[in-house]
Amino acid sequence: MITIINKEFQATGNFNNGEILENKPIGFPRDNGVTKPYSNLFYWAHAWTSGSSSTIGLHPHQGFEICSFVLKGFINHFDTKLNSWIKLKEGDVQVIRSGKGISHSEEIGEKSEIFQIWFDPDISKALNSEATYDDYQLSDFPIIESGNCFKKIIKGDDSPVELFSENVNVYEYVFKNGVFEHNLNINLISSIFVLEGEALINNKLVTKGDFIIIENEELIKIDSADQLNIFEITSPKTPTYPTYFQRFG
């Protein structure tokens, strides 16, 4: 089953009177978007600056694993664990395992874009753990080239990224023009965001900004007339623990 949530049907948000804009493939329950939390994916925002850089002030997190993926430009990040500002550039990844609690602030640079994605590592256990923090650079991630397909492993085999959220993997793909067969694990959910380009996926049109949820499929056919860049997360259909949304949503 393939479900496509076009950009215009995703929840939206902003910070600092529109200096930072957001589309939310998976919004907070109060955001009234089409897609509610599922698997151990609680929240997924695509955020960008509409002009100059802008800062989201210090704010707290608990329990969740807060992951920021720098898609374009840069961010500057501060948290109460390191107590210093750190710069992350395009392709870098930041993981905050917020545990018992941590506060952070982030500046999204001029003409910059990020994903911020919250994973649920089993809140009941995470709330009893100390917060931990890691930054990963673009050069840390292996890239596999096969024909006209390039696969970056952000979380998975040979990647240093560690998450407590079970059975989560993260990939980025670039498909040059052509027809491709993309293998899936039928036991997992595949969540895909179209970063650039457009294509037919099993004869369904997808374009930049669309969000795709795929279940119970072993293979999809991607037909791209130009370059297609997608971001994919695979995650369990049903985690072995009750998720936050199941408990409190």
pLDDT digits (tens, 9 = 90+) for 52-68: 988 888 888 899 999 99
CA-CA-CA-CA dihedral for 177, 221, 10, 40, to nearest 10:
-120
CATH class for the region spanning 11-139? mainly beta
Confidence band of 247 (pLDDT split at 50, 70, 90)? confident
Q: Is 51 helix (H, G, I), strand (E, B) or coil?
A: coil
Task: Give me 115's structure tokens.
Answer: 């994903």
Q: Where are the domains of the chain?
A: 11-139, 143-236
Per-residue model confidence (pLDDT) at position 244:
86
Task: Give me 211's structure tokens.
Answer: 């969000």
Looking at residues 222-228, what average pLDDT do you find?
Answer: 88
Residue 104 has pLDDT above 90, yes or no: no
Per-residue model confidence (pLDDT) at position 133:
87
Residue 82 has pLDDT above 80, yes or no: no
Residue 76 has pLDDT above 80, yes or no: yes
**Sheet (strand 11-15) strand order:** 11-15, 20-26, 41-49, 113-119, 65-72, 93-97, 132-136
Closest CA to 190 of 168, 166, 214: 214
Task: Give me 229's structure tokens.
Answer: 């860049």
Q: How long is the chain?
A: 249
Q: Tell me: the pLDDT tens digits for 231-243?
A: 999 999 999 999 8
Q: What is 143-236's CATH superfamily?
A: Jelly Rolls (2.60.120.10)
Per-residue model confidence (pLDDT) at position 174:
93
Q: Is 61 helix (H, G, I), strand (E, B) or coil?
A: strand
Tell me which DSSP letter residue 187 carries. T
Q: Tell me: the pLDDT tens digits for 176-219?
A: 888 888 889 999 999 999 999 999 999 999 999 999 999 998 98
Residue 229 has pLDDT above 90, yes or no: yes
Tell me which DSSP letter residue 38 carries. B
Closest CA to 98 of 144, 59, 133: 133
Confidence band of 34 (pLDDT split at 50, 70, 90)? confident
DSSP H/E element including 248: helix 244-248
Per-residue model confidence (pLDDT) at position 25:
96
Residue 51 has pLDDT above 90, yes or no: no
Q: Is 130 helix (H, G, I), strand (E, B) or coil?
A: coil
